Amino acid sequence: MSETEAPAAPPRQAGIVLFGVPVRFHFTFLILVLFVVLGGLNDKKSAAQEALFLIGLFLSVLLHELAHALTGKAYGVRTIEIIMYPIGGVARLERQPEPRAELRIALAGPLVNIAIAGVILAVQGGPAAVAKLSDRPDSLLLRLAVWNLYLAAFNLVPALPMDGGRALRAFLAMRRGEAAATRIAANMGRVLAVIMGVYGLFHGEVIMALLALLIYMAASHESAASQGKMLTQGIPVRSAMITDFRTLPHGATLREAADLLLATSQQDFPVVNGAQVIGLLDRTSFLRGMAADGPESYVAGVMDRGFLKLDPAADLSEAVPALNEVGACGLVMEEDRLLGMLTVENVSEFLLLRKLGVEPKA
């Protein structure tokens, strides 16, 4: 699919790491495998040939996403992870690149697919191989070339979340601003999804209808993320942080933490030693500790000592991606003094209030 600014962290799954970037697989990636296998069985291709083709197609999609990641790295934009989807995958970037960089990062993926197809066609005989593409090629390599061209063409459609939509947004952002550019590109993505969905439903193409749903959801997310960024830009972290919260002493047990969890609406607790913050007990660490060590174990043994620290004067639009990456909570600290907490939930509430016209506190 494309690269995207980091949304809320998805559930962690097993994967691999390439060039320092974790590569994970979304369950819907199985749709692509099923689609290709069924197509191959209909054409009476051997299981071994289908397996080789799937490996080649997987590597093509992976190289597409790595092209996004490596191009982003060249512009100083880190890739948090690559998630493999049936329509090409997503490289989750830590932040939104500036328009010229986004244009180059977006186009890097499809260009890799075009390059792969070009190399295959050159090896297979040049013009003669190109002429065979109009038929249904039996050659494994020619088939792979065709699919790489499909991937490139589909991803170059000028609609979010495809790479062409990101390129369109980057181009428009240079002239009309990021918010307007995202709105236009996301609307085109929704229109594309509706067309695909209607066609898929009326023609019995279930897989196309599912892909249409994924595209519509992704386009809507892009629009919401852009609006969220606009609502948080220029707002300091201190304006959105929670100031009424409870802490746990480092000598507290998990049983005491459980009592506090039930008595309050809080799910994350700073762990302190006197006035010093030494860790953060989030819900995941709490449950893991309860399962492994029992309720009489100490919070100091399971707390996160590498918790996210946020500057109260930092721009909220820059703090949110960091918060999304850890997926839980950040502590707002001025030097060693704890001022407040920032969570995904309270940021969502903050955005809702801003949409309703409530201005943040100073």
Q: Is 206 inside any structural domain?
A: yes
pLDDT digits (tens, 9 = 90+) for 281-306: 998 899 999 999 999 999 999 999 99
Residues 130 and 179 in one domain: no
- Domain identity same for 193 and 149: no
Q: What is the pLDDT of residue 39?
A: 59
Is the model's pTM score more than 0.75?
no
Domain boundary residue among 120, 137, 156?
A: 156
**195 domain-assigned:** yes
Instruction: Verify that 5 and 74 share a domain, yes or no.
Output: yes
308 & 263 share domain: yes
Identify whether the C-beta of residue 154 lies closer than 8 Å to the C-beta of residue 192: no
Considering all CA atoms of the chain, what is the largest pairwise distance in Å, rounded to the nearest integer?
77
User: Residue ranges of the chain with pLDDT lower than 50?
Assistant: 7-14
Q: Are residues 142 and 162 in the same domain?
A: no
| pLDDT of the residue at 229 | 84
Q: What is the CATH number of the domain that holds 334?
A: 3.10.580.10
Whether residue 360 is contained in a domain is answered as: no
- Token pair, residue 276, equals 């010093």
Together in a domain, 53 and 168 = no
pLDDT value at position 12? 45
Together in a domain, 280 and 192: no
Q: Which residues contact 314 (CB under 8 A, 6 or more apart)?
A: 236, 237
Q: Which domain holds residue 226?
A: 158-232
Q: Does 36 share its domain with 162?
A: no
Are 171 and 276 in a shared domain? Answer: no
- Final residue in a domain of this structure, among 232, 256, 275: 232
Q: State the catalytic residue, choosing from 3, 5, 65, 102.
A: 65
Q: Please check whether residues 327 and 181 belong to one and the same domain.
A: no
What pLDDT was estimated at residue 20?
84
φ/ψ of 316, rounded to 5, equals -60, -35
Gap between the Cα atoms of 293 and 231, Å rounded = 43
pLDDT at 8: 44
The per-residue pLDDT for range 216-265, each reduced to its tens digit, is 998 998 888 888 888 888 899 999 999 999 999 999 999 999 999 999 98
Same domain assignment for residues 142 and 189: no
Q: Does residue 46 fall inside a structural domain? A: yes
Burial class of residue 11 (count of CB atoms within 10 Å of its CB; 0-12, 13-18, 19+): exposed
Same structural domain, 56 and 80? yes
Per the domain annotation, does 362 fall within a domain?
A: no
Catalytic annotation on 359? no
Task: Please check whether residue 4 lies inside any domain of the structure.
Answer: yes
Number of domains in the chain: 3
Residue 88: CB partners within 8 Å, gap ≥ 6?
1, 2, 61, 64, 65, 109, 151, 154, 155
Domain boundary among 104, 138, 156: 156
In a domain, 259, yes or no: yes
Can you give the pLDDT at residue 361? 67
Q: Is residue 60 part of a domain?
A: yes
DSSP, residue by residue, 1-59: -EEEE--SPPPP--EEEETTEEEEE-TTHHHHHHHHHHHHHHTT--HHHHHHHHHHHHH
Q: In one letter, which amino acid is 253?
A: T
Find out whether the peptide bond into 161 is cis, omega within 30 degrees of 0. yes
